[in-house]
Amino acid sequence: MGQSVADARALVPRLAIRELDRPMLENAFASFADWHSNASPLVSVLTDMTPYGDLILDITGVPHLFGGEKIMLSMMISRLRQVGYTVSGAIAPTIGAAWAVSHFVGNRVVTPKTIVTLLDSLPIPALRLGRDQIAALTQMGLLTIGQVRQRPRKPLQARFGASFLIRLDQAYGEIEERMTPRLPIVEHFVERRFHEPISQLDDVLAAARELAQKLCAALESDGLGAQTFHLFLYRVDHKVMTLSLNAARLTRDPQHIVSLFHHRAQRFEVEEFDPGFGIDMVRLAASSLDRLDVAQLGAFETENGAADIDRLTDRLTSRLGPTAVLKVELVESHIPERAARLAPAVVAETESPLSRPRPRRPLRLLPMPELVRINAEVPDGLPASMIWRRQPYRLIKGAGPERLGAEWWRKRERLQLVEEVEPEELEPGEKAKQPPYVAALPLHDPEASTRDYYLVEDTDGRRFWVFRQGFYDGDLPPAWYLHGFFP
């Protein structure tokens, strides 16, 4: 460690040298960490001390499933040793203590009773301190944590900074230390372990079906429904695959959940489904929970199609992706392309449109207006002929113009409201008048962005929506565009 390549070569002439691929290693460690969520759902990687981080598991309420803390620790360490890793781990009431014990003592379970004596005997670097802090402390002859802990706190803070005291308190559990879980926190989950690893996608989905029924039974007994579902697939080779999906409304219908995963998996198949050496555990989890009362199917219920529509959009979204299934949202704006917005149907809020009078608008709008050539009999008159997509049209009817100005307030431009002030010659002794405040924004140029819209009809009865950008008497010649089609 810390040797230069030349020195290493001198020691071992046949040394094979490879460059460290840090991102790859980091990713590998992260997915390795995810895999440990089969022991406890709260997994996090602590990255502040070691290059790729330390694996932290919150095992509150978990050890009894493995037969006690001691057995759990030895199980987790031995299963990693079997794969060929060098492992050291500890169980402790605080993250700081677990880190200290695992790095400086070895595999051990620390209980709240023993934590103080054990930590007191450990050396200073076990506190996760910076290099300068450790150097300064050793210089002062403070070698163990116990020695530091006895000393008055104020001079310590003045000398080594607040972070030192925070680390100390965190290790002893005086203040809480938070961990950020890597995987989404799930409140309800069910899982199934397999004696023989499975690798077929169909088998996975069959397992998911069984799990969905269990999960939904659990949700129903709690009177809950969920909107987000995650399927975690734990591979034998320490990797986790996650499939997450959203439903449009709260649900606990196992059929529906399974069908959503089915559609999602069809897309999955196209991309990649790599079970590696097999999957030995499947977990189905639900999050975004809320109360969902038992629906009463009564004789007087008026059947409403809204639930069916939501279910359909869920199914379509799970296969095609959220950007493929859209709803129209109306926006308060007079600019045609801003007045309507397409939003994913799973999240769109459908409001009833405002009942103010609306001008006539085309049924279809081109996402990008297309350049056309238009001749008008007189400037500012109705267009008389048009060439669009290399086809000529003779226009016989027309309505317009409807002049739409640009929204200058959105473009960070200012209107010409204040006349520029010419500096006057000052009498001796007279103070200069404060000029009016003018924001330092570019001036709004109405010529460049004002549009004149015309509704035109050709000889065969097709109705188009065209607009002219720019004025005839301006500096730039006006340009015509086709923007939409009327029925």
Partner 1 sequence: MSAPDRQQRLTALRDTIADIERKPALAEVRAKSFDARDGNFPRLPGGLLQEVFTDAVRNGGANLGFALGQAKTLLTPKRMAVLYLQLTSDGQFFGLPYGPGLLSFGFDPAQLVIVRVSDMRDFLWVAEESLACRAVAGIVADIGGDPEPLDFTASRRLSLRAAESGTSLFLLRYGAERQASAAHLRWCLTPHRSGRKRFDEQAPGAPRWSLELEKGVALGRQTQFLLEWTENGFATLPVEPGRKSRHRPTLPFAFPTRLADGLSQAARV
Touching partner 1, residues 315-354 (CB under 8 A): 315-316, 319-320, 323-330, 336, 339-340, 342, 345, 350-353
- Distance between start and end Cα atoms, the chain: 75
Report the residue from 161, 197, 362, 446 that binds partner 1 according to the rule CB under 8 A: 362
- What's the min distance (Å) between Cβ of 281 and partner 1? 32
State yes or no: residue 262 binds partner 1 (CB under 8 A): no
Report the residue from 305, 428, 429, 477 that binds partner 1 according to the rule CB under 8 A: 305
Alpha-carbon span 38 to 214, nearest angstrom = 18
- What's the min distance (Å) between Cβ of 411 and partner 1? 22
Query: At 253, is the secondary structure helix, strand, or coil?
Result: coil
Query: Interface with partner 1 by CB under 8 A: which range of 72-80, 138-146, 161-169, 397-405?
Result: 397-405
Q: In Å, what is the CA distance from 318 to each residue of 215, 225, 255, 283, 366?
A: 20, 19, 14, 19, 28
Cα-based torsion angle of the residue sequence 215, 219, 225, 226 in order, rounded to the nearest 10 degrees: -40
Interface with partner 1 (CB under 8 A), residue total 63
- What's the min distance (Å) between Cβ of 350 and partner 1? 4
Q: 74 is written with which tokens? A: 């030895």
DSSP 45-111: EE-SSSSS-EEEEE-TT-GGGGTSHHHHHHHHHHHHHHHT-----EE-SSHHHHHHHHHHT-SEE--
State yes or no: residue 387 binds partner 1 (CB under 8 A): no
State yes or no: residue 399 binds partner 1 (CB under 8 A): yes
State yes or no: residue 371 binds partner 1 (CB under 8 A): no
Touching partner 1, residues 408-437 (CB under 8 A): none
State yes or no: residue 382 binds partner 1 (CB under 8 A): yes
State yes or no: residue 403 binds partner 1 (CB under 8 A): no
Cα-based torsion angle of the residue sequence 190, 194, 197, 202 in order, rounded to the nearest 10 degrees: -60
Report the residue from 313, 372, 374, 451 that binds partner 1 according to the rule CB under 8 A: 313
State yes or no: residue 397 binds partner 1 (CB under 8 A): yes
Alpha-carbon span 262 to 236, nearest angstrom = 23
Residue in the block written with tokens 């790095």: 103
Of 400, 375, 404, 371, nearest in space to 388 by CA: 371
Alpha-carbon span 205 to 199, nearest angstrom = 11
Nearer to partner 1, 327 or 414 (CB): 327
Q: 228 is written with which tokens? A: 């987000």
Cβ distance 140 to 159 under 8 Å?
no
Query: Exposed (0-12), middle (13-18) or buried (19+): which is 261, by Cβ within 10 Å?
Result: buried
State yes or no: residue 264 binds partner 1 (CB under 8 A): no
State yes or no: residue 438 binds partner 1 (CB under 8 A): no
Nearer to partner 1, 153 or 360 (CB): 360
Query: Interface with partner 1 by CB under 8 A: which range of 91-99, 245-253, 280-288, 393-401?
Result: 393-401
Query: Interface with partner 1 by CB under 8 A: which range of 30-38, 184-192, 194-202, 479-487?
Result: 479-487
Binding site for partner 1 (CB under 8 A): 302-309, 311-313, 315-316, 319-320, 323-330, 336, 339-340, 342, 345, 350-353, 358-368, 382, 388-389, 391, 397-399, 455-457, 459-464, 484-487
